[in-house]
Amino acid sequence: MNGKRPNNPEHENLCGFSVSVTSNSVDRIANLAKQYWDRQSMLWQALAGLRPRDGKMSEISPLATGDHRFDAPEWHRHPWYAAVVQSYQFNTELLAGMMKEADVAPKLQQQLRFLTRQLIDASSPANFILTNPEALQLALESNGESLYAGLRNWLTDATRGQIAITDERAFEIGRNVAMSNGEVIFECELMQLVQYAPLTQKVARRPLLIVPPCVNKFYILDLQPQNSFVRFALEQGHTVFLVSWRNPQNELQQSTWDDYLERGVIQAIEVALAVSGADKVNTLGWCIGGTMLASALAVLGARGEQPAASMTLLTTLIDFTEPGELGTFVDERTVALAEQTLGKRGLLSGKALALVFQSLRANELLWPYVVGNYLKGETPEAFDLLYWNSDATNLPGPMYTWLLRHGYHRNELRVPGKLEVCGVPFDLGKANVPAYVLATERDHLVPWRSAWLTTRLLGGDTQFVLAASGHIAGVINPPAANKRSYWTGDDDRASDADDWLAHASTHPGSWWPHWSEWLRGHSGKLRAAPKQSGNAVYAPIEPAPGRYVKTRVA
């Protein structure tokens, strides 16, 4: 024996995960643990011997990582709280280091990373009354009124089953959000179709049909006049039709993916063409709405129909090779369980889905409101985007489980002929129309490199654009705000997404004008704007935004 341990993996079971640990990993983890205990020991020894000097700490300084949870001066004034924060930072670094040393498959590494981040976020000293000096000071100054208000807030949120992230009393759909003028001209059990009133005297002959995601309400595209994508399109001289998905209740719990394509997207295309009298319609889909739109056009292409002049896809997944953080726990076991419970009938709760989305960005959309609402007794500020974000939407079980298995799990939408959709062999190449494909660089739901793969699946010419920021802010970026930037490049010459970015050009500001110029080439000649919505067959039913968008999850 030479005294050296063999570098053979040993398998440990951690929280149900089989983790392979080599001797080298054991050594590195041991070093991490030693460093951790040394730092903790020095920290608390320093605290025990501290003496204030001119009201300031002399040996312990609070966390210096740009973590805004600890920006308030209360975290800096007392050595105890500074030590608590530094101890938390040591815990964070130890957990992150141990997670990196786990010798596991990439999928399991992603799961461990997600769970580790959840643990780190949840254990922040800011989240607990006894270790949050801001909350304690506020309780003292208010004679306990802040704690009493926090308890009331907690009871209210517990009753409705959802954490308040904005002051919902400040908004009303149709009054100060979803304000654009228009009328519902068609409705079925799955959706209403809104036609918006023109804002120009002349409009393009070919209208624009917008398909928003069914996991959220459509009015993210029409929040306020100053940031409304719908209004921008109207100002550019387009006749805009928009699908308003119904918030599913029990009567829709058997609806399938095919139903959403056939009776949703395809039917909306037919109505828009019939009302406008155009030869073709320009189309736009966002997120899952884009997945539906591309799928519907592929189905129509397989039937020998080409009703679209163009297709715009905003932060859309079609190739699910890297599905973002939503794919973290999607595997055969979880998909089979979902199919067992929801595959034939049932509803995926919108509130449960909203909590999943909040957990993906817990330090932005979850814990700040736990602290503000409950520990400090505050009412969240009124913010239109967060009002939309909290307006949860159910999903029919069969539709949801189909996308879960064939998209997120098996990634079969990209394989020609692998699936049958709406009665025809499915091939995305049959969506043979010019496409504008937009991704955002910090999108945690639709990684931009996965969105770039769309350019290799569609049948027509593509224009790929990468916008700064994330899934929402990168899309809702009106030109007047003069914010952010975007990149354009040569899609045909790029070997992969990184090669595309290496040769791309940067442009300051919003991508909206760039898209508008691209769309102009597919919109046809100008004609007089319609004086009224609908026609003899599709008469107006009610004013926009319609009833369906106002239905909230109970």
Beta strands 308-314 and 435-440 are parallel
Helix axes 133-141, 145-160, angle to 10 degrees: 120
Distance CA 284, CA 269 (A): 11
With tokens 């199919």, the residue in question is 339
Q: Which residues contact 234 (CB under 8 A, 6 or more apart)?
A: 180, 196, 197, 198, 199, 200, 240
Q: Exposed, middle or buried, 503 (CB in 10 Å: 0-12/13-18/19+)?
A: exposed
Out of 15, 188, 214, 287, pick the active-site residue.
Answer: 287
Residue 462, Cβ neighbours under 10 Å: how many? 21
Percent composition of the chain: helix, strand, coil (DSSP 3-state, to 5): 45, 15, 40
Pick from 302, 269, 270, 277: nearest CA to 421: 302
Distance CA 438, CA 452 (A): 8
Is residue 287 annotated as part of the catalytic site, yes or no? yes
Q: Which residues contact 48 (CB under 8 A, 6 or more apart)?
A: none
Distance CA 172, CA 244 (A): 17
Q: Mind spelling out the 3-state secondary structure of 475-523?
A: CCCCHHHCCCEEEECCCCCCCCHHHHHHCCEEEECCCHHHHHHHHHCCC
Distance CA 512, CA 178 (A): 19
Q: Exposed, middle or buried, 116 (CB in 10 Å: 0-12/13-18/19+)?
A: middle
Tokens of 173: 């759909």
Tokens of 248: 């599913």
Distance CA 179, CA 227 (A): 11
φ/ψ region of 165 (left if φ > 0, alpha if ψ in -120 to 50, else beta) reads alpha
Distance CA 466, CA 452 (A): 9
End-to-end CA distance of the chain, in Å? 69
What is the amino acid identity at position 215? V
Q: Which residues are identified as catalytic?
A: 287
